[in-house]
């Protein structure tokens, strides 16, 4: 190696965060699409694995990794709830999840153990995400529903990142996430509306207005999920939820938008359709398609 000025070897260029993000996406996006396309057991296993990783990272953030029986019970409750969802019992899955979280919270109160009390919230966060994804994919329009959800979250995330960096401006919520701007949030919303318009054009199902409203709502929920994770990490003084994904951090850092859009979007669909197991199918039926 030829030495540079002063006898030092030229420093290697360290890959940027953006480059790592792109390389990770080139692997993760095709994997997510493949699992979504295969559906059935493959998707259940993928969604369940993500949910359990989310619970693990939440436990690490709140300092509950050494909670012993509390942590074991949380994972056991998550597995049982996810199994119920996989068998098609969505309402029962949510009931099991709620009972498990209540039991963990009560256990934390009895022991005056704050990390265990926070762990109850992690069980709801991670478990609900897994259950909702399983319910969406198993529905009448499952493949399209998951593709639309992913498309909205990815478009929102990418556009918010680049528009925010390019335009800057007033901060969205400085105390929670100093780097996020209103310009980025609006850029992400605009990109999501583009995905909604494309979905209306390609599918021919429902009208353009319905797709645009769904896209806008899911984009806002996706950004809310991102802010929720940022608030949690800032509260506990943690930068990343983990180091599993280069350029992104942990699984929670990558799926926070999916959790926000998926869980909140599912609740809206259930309220609108009155159907728990397949709310999207219920909405489609109501529209006469």
State whether residue 169 is helix, strand or coil.
coil
Point out which residues pair with 173 in neighbouring strands: 177
Which residues have C-beta within 8 Å of that of residue 80, sequence separation ≥ 6? Answer: 96, 100
Q: What is the average pLDDT across 234-244?
A: 83
Determine the pLDDT at residue 214: 95
Cα separation, 268 vs 215, in Å, equals 13
Whole-angstrom CA distances from 209 to 109, 197, 215, 252 are 48, 9, 10, 32
* Intra-chain end-to-end CA distance of the chain, in Å: 68
State whether residue 177 is helix, strand or coil.
strand
Note the Cα 72 to chain centre separation in Å.
23
| pLDDT at residue 16 greater than cutoff 70 | no
Half-sphere exposure of residue 264, counting CA atoms within 13 Å on the CB side?
21
Q: What is the average pLDDT across 184-203?
A: 95
Determine the pLDDT at residue 13: 41
Whole-angstrom CA distances from 241 to 53, 123, 141, 249 are 10, 16, 32, 6
Which of the residue ranges 24-33, 60-69, 72-81, 166-175 has the most confident prediction, judged by mean pLDDT?
72-81
Determine the pLDDT at residue 21: 75
6 vs 22 pLDDT, higher one: 22
Per-residue confidence at 288, pLDDT binned at 50, 70, 90?
Answer: low
Determine the pLDDT at residue 23: 80
Q: What is the average pLDDT across 252-258?
A: 93
Q: What is the average pLDDT across 260-279?
A: 93
| pLDDT at residue 244 greater than cutoff 80 | no
pLDDT in tens, 134-156: 999 998 899 999 999 999 999 99
Q: What is the average pLDDT across 115-122?
A: 96
pLDDT in tens, 40-64: 999 999 999 999 999 999 999 999 9
Determine the pLDDT at residue 287: 66
Determine the pLDDT at residue 247: 61
Q: CB of 42 within 8 A of CB of 35?
A: yes
Cα separation, 179 vs 116, in Å, equals 31
Instruction: Give 93's DSSP letter.
Output: H
| pLDDT at residue 181 greater than cutoff 70 | yes
Q: Burial of 277 by CB count in 10 Å (0-12 exposed, 13-18 middle, 19+ buried)?
A: middle
222 vs 2 pLDDT, higher one: 222
Half-sphere exposure of residue 22, counting CA atoms within 13 Å on the CB side?
5
Predicted TM-score (pTM) of the model is: 0.90
Cα separation, 88 vs 142, in Å, equals 13
Determine the pLDDT at residue 140: 87
Computed over every residue of the chain, the mean pLDDT equals 89
Q: What is the average pLDDT across 207-225?
A: 95
Please name which of 35, 48, 50, 55 lies closest in space to residue 100, comparing C-alpha atoms: 55
Percent of the chain with pLDDT over 90: 70
Which residues have C-beta within 8 Å of that of residue 238, sequence separation ≥ 6? Answer: 61
Determine the pLDDT at residue 8: 43
Instruction: Give 288's DSSP letter.
Output: T
Per-residue confidence at 246, pLDDT binned at 50, 70, 90?
Answer: low
């Amino acid at each position: 190696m030829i030495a540079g000025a002063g006898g030092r070897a030229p420093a290697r260029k360290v890959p940027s965060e953006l480059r790592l993000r792109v390389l990770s996406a080139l692997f993760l996006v095709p994997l997510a699409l493949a699992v979504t396309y295969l559906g059935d057991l493959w998707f259940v296993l993928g969604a369940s694995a993500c949910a359990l990783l989310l619970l693990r990272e939440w436990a690490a953030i709140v300092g509950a990794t050494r909670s012993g029986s509390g942590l074991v019970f949380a994972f056991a409750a998550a597995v049982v709830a996810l199994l119920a969802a996989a068998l098609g019992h969505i309402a029962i899955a949510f009931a099991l999840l709620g009972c498990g979280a209540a039991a963990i919270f009560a256990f934390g109160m009895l022991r005056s153990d704050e990390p265990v009390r926070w762990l109850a919230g992690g069980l709801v966060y991670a478990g609900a995400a897994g259950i909702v994804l399983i319910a969406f994919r198993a529905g009448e329009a499952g493949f399209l529903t998951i593709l639309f959800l992913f498309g909205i979250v990815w478009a929102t995330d990418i556009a918010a990142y680049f528009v925010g960096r390019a335009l800057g401006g007033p901060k969205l919520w400085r105390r929670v996430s100093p780097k996020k701007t209103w310009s980025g949030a609006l850029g992400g919303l605009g990109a999501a509306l583009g995905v909604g318009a494309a979905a209306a054009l390609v599918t021919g199902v429902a009208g353009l207005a319905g797709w645009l409203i769904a896209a806008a709502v899911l984009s806002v929920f996706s950004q809310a999920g991102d802010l929720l994770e940022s608030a949690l990490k800032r509260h506990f003084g943690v930068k990343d939820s983990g180091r599993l994904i280069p350029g992104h951090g942990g699984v929670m850092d990558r799926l926070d938008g999916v959790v926000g859009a998926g869980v909140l979007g599912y609740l809206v669909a259930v309220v609108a359709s009155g159907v728990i197991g397949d709310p999207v199918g219920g909405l489609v039926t109501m529209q006469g398609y």
